[in-house]
Amino acid sequence: MPTKPGLLRRTADQSGVGHSGAARRRQSQGTLLSGPGQQSPLRRRSGTVALALFVLIYLVPVLGVLLTSLKTNKEIAARGIWAPSGNLTLDNYLDVWRNVNVDRYLINSIQVTVPAVVVSIVGGAMIGYALAKLRPRGANIIQMIILSGLFVPPQVLLVPLFTLFRERDLINTLWPMILVHSAVGLSITSLVMRNFFDQIPDSLRSAALVDGAHEGQVFIRVMLPLARPALAALAVLQFTFIWNDFLYPLVFTTSDDVRTIMYGLWSVEGQYTVAFGDQAALAVIASVPTVLIFLMFQRHFIRGLLAGAIKG
C-alpha cells in the first residue's frame, strides 16, 4: 500500500526540489539512469501512483473525446460535454456511419495514404541507395537539394501547384494529395535511407555483383531486406503524417466524393447542427488507425524521427 509520506516524498523528489538533506542524498544515489532495482518497493509504488495520475490528467482531452462519443446526445445536451456519465452507448457511431459519408472518407484516406507512403519510401530508398552505394558525381548536391525540401513551407507550393493541377484537370481528384505527399516525403526518407545504406559495407554489393546479380537485383534482394527496420520506421512516420493531413484536401478538393476523413471531421467540427456525440464518434474513428499503428510500432516511429538528423 502506498502510504502518504511515501507519496509526498516521491513527488518532492520528482519535482527536483527536495529540501531535506535526506531527500537530496537519496536523489544523488538516485534513479537518474539506473534501473528500478535500487528503489525501495514503497517508493516505487507511490511513484507508480503519481505517474498514473499524471498520465490521466494529461490525457483528459483524449478521454473527453472518447467518453463523449459514448454518451447519448440527450445527456450531452442536458449536462454538457464534460459531465461524468453513467450509461454508455454505441449509438453515435451507428448514427455517424449512417448519416455522414464516413465510409467514403475512410476509403479516400486509405487511397491517398497507402500509395503515398509506398512511393515516398521506395523513392527515398532508391535515392538513398544510389547516393550511398553508386556514388555519382554531385551526390552531395543532389542530397542537399532534396533535403532543402524540408524547409519549404507547404504554403509556398500551394500557389504554383494549384495552377499546375488545375491545368491538368486534377483538382477534385485524389491525385494532387497522392503526388504532393509522395514528393514531400522524399526529403526525409532519402536522408534516412542514405544514412542507413552508408553503414552497410560495400563488400556486400560487390559480392552480389561478382555472383552475377545486376544492380537492380542487389537493391531488391540484398539491400531492401536489410533495410527493413529503417523502412518500418519511415512507414510509421509517413503514415501518421499523411493520414492526419488536412491542408491538401482543403485546398485541392471541392466535393465530398474525394475528401479524406480529416476534412470530413473538420467540416462537422464546431457545427451546432451536428450533435457533439456524433462529432466525437467521428473523431475517434478518424484517430483509430494512427493511434493503433503508433502504439504497435512506436519504437520505429521514434527511430525514424531521430535517425536522420543525428547521424546526418
Looking at residues 102 to 121 of the shown chain, list those that interact with another protein (rule: CB under 8 A).
Answer: 119
Could you say whether residue 60 binds another protein (CB under 8 A)?
Answer: yes
Q: Using CB under 8 A, which of 160, 201, 212, 225 touches another protein?
A: 160
* Secondary structure element (H or E) that encloses residue 233, with its range: helix 228-243
* Cα–Cα distance for residue pair 287/240, rounded to 1 Å: 10
* Cα–Cα distance for residue pair 144/121, rounded to 1 Å: 18
* Cα–Cα distance for residue pair 252/176, rounded to 1 Å: 7
Q: Using CB under 8 A, which of 58, 198, 206, 207 touches another protein?
A: 58
Q: Using CB under 8 A, which of 42, 81, 224, 232 touches another protein?
A: 81
Part in contact with another protein (CB under 8 A); list of ranges 86-94, 96-104, 224-232, 294-302:
294-302
CB 70 within 8 A of CB 89: yes
Q: Count the residues of the shown chain that bind another protein, applying the rule CB under 8 A.
A: 102
Q: Using CB under 8 A, which of 4, 19, 35, 84 touches another protein?
A: 35
* Cα–Cα distance for residue pair 204/225, rounded to 1 Å: 13
Burial (CB < 10 A; 0-12, 13-18, 19+), residue 41, is: exposed
* Cα–Cα distance for residue pair 9/15, rounded to 1 Å: 10
| Alpha-carbon distances of 165 from 150, 161, 168, 171, 252, rounded to whole Å | 22, 6, 5, 6, 8
* Cα–Cα distance for residue pair 229/226, rounded to 1 Å: 8
Nearer to another protein, 132 or 258 (CB): 132
Nearer to another protein, 91 or 149 (CB): 149
Could you say whether residue 172 binds another protein (CB under 8 A)?
Answer: no
For the chain, strand residue ranges (E) read none
Site for another protein in 271-290 (CB under 8 A): 276, 279-280, 283, 286-287, 290
Nearest approach in angstroms of CB 46 to another protein is: 12
Helix (H, G, I), strand (E, B) or coil at 180: helix
Could you say whether residue 222 binds another protein (CB under 8 A)?
Answer: no
Q: End-to-end alpha-carbon separation of the chain, Å?
A: 49
Could you say whether residue 210 binds another protein (CB under 8 A)?
Answer: no
Nearer to another protein, 24 or 221 (CB): 24
* Cα–Cα distance for residue pair 291/293, rounded to 1 Å: 6
Nearest approach in angstroms of CB 286 to another protein is: 6
Q: Using CB under 8 A, which of 8, 22, 144, 302 touches another protein?
A: 302
Nearer to another protein, 14 or 89 (CB): 14
Nearest approach in angstroms of CB 68 to another protein is: 8
Could you say whether residue 164 binds another protein (CB under 8 A)?
Answer: yes
Could you say whether residue 145 binds another protein (CB under 8 A)?
Answer: yes
